[in-house]
Structure 1
């Protein structure tokens, strides 16, 4: 996924998507700790001792992920990334997204996803997908606001780190649907 030109730094004014590097580790740890309750709807835990293992997985591209540190006004405020999905060069997933609570509802998530979608479609991809825990209604609504279509529900698709069995809502947007 590195050689396809997709995983490059992106920016839009006061926000940047930096390639995740070791120097982001402690700032991202602190950002993730700002909302301890949200990790119950994520497949993986990013709190306490679990953070180090998850950070290492993100840095080494585990699970075919290429993760960005989200930087706003010079401060690490979250993460998002590309996840291999479908045919390489045709389809990709955006996921592993988290933004600190104080910036939710400010439009930063929409700006980040727009930046990524613009880049994906400019790079020639035809489909961008999103997988969201069905109980995370805020994230489902945010994906729909981008113009994505809900494709369905993968029932009992995985067990999260808490042991809860997750239903996963599937969304996508196609290149010819994206209006930017």
Structure 2
């Protein structure tokens, strides 16, 4: 997992391993979209932010990134490798949030490309994405990357609001990656 934790940069996107100095700017970035958190498994708003960060710190099998707009130097979100397993060579990319200011600009595509390239360069052969089926924008973005919808886990996760969500599972194999 240590090999996955690196600074990655291309064009306007810079991913830095999440550190203490990123937390307050991340809190501010998360607050830029009050409505999106209804479809996330956890809330990163207000008093929920500190609880979520503590939960992340207690989870050792995630590689966390602060997402920076390299053009402005502003922190605009976060993303993660979740449960990277060097034995099976599978990792998930998820827990991603980007601020409205960079959505729809191609920023997310570059960010995911950096993460996918980096995972495959580090020996992983499969990347998974798990998305709440209510999050149509994220599902469309994952499909644009070339990932395949492999199925939907019905009512498999309780979110912070108490909603029991369905989770769409997507997979991307190294040999399918054409970027």
- Structure 1 residues 122-169: Cα deviation after superposition (integer angstroms, max 9, x where no partner): 111110000000110000000000000000000001110000010000
Instruction: Indicate the residue corresponding to 2:63 in structure 1.
Output: 66
Instruction: Indicate the residue corresponding to 1:13 in structure 2.
Output: 11
- What TM-score do the two structures reach when normalised by structure 2? 0.94
Instruction: Indicate the residue corresponding to 2:103 in structure 1.
Output: 104
**Residue 65 (structure 1) shift:** 1.4
After the TM superposition, which segments of 4 or more aligned residues of structure 1 sit over 6 Å from their partners?
none
- What TM-score do the two structures reach when normalised by structure 1? 0.94
Equivalent residue runs for 1:126-137 within 5 Å = 126-137=125-136
Instruction: Indicate the residue corresponding to 2:34 in structure 1.
Output: 36
Q: Identify which range, 118-127 or 137-146, moves more after superposition.
A: 118-127
Paired with 2:44 and 2:12, the residues of 1 have a C-alpha distance of 26
Instruction: Indicate the residue corresponding to 1:26 in structure 2.
Output: 24
Structure 2 gap ranges (5+):
none
1:80 aligns with 2:79: yes
Equivalent residue runs for 1:157-172 within 5 Å = 157-172=156-171
SS in 1 for 2:35: helix
User: What is the CA RMSD across the aligned residues, in angstroms?
Assistant: 1.4
Check conservation: 1:7, 1:82, Cα contact below 8 A. no
**Residue 102 (structure 1) shift:** 1.9
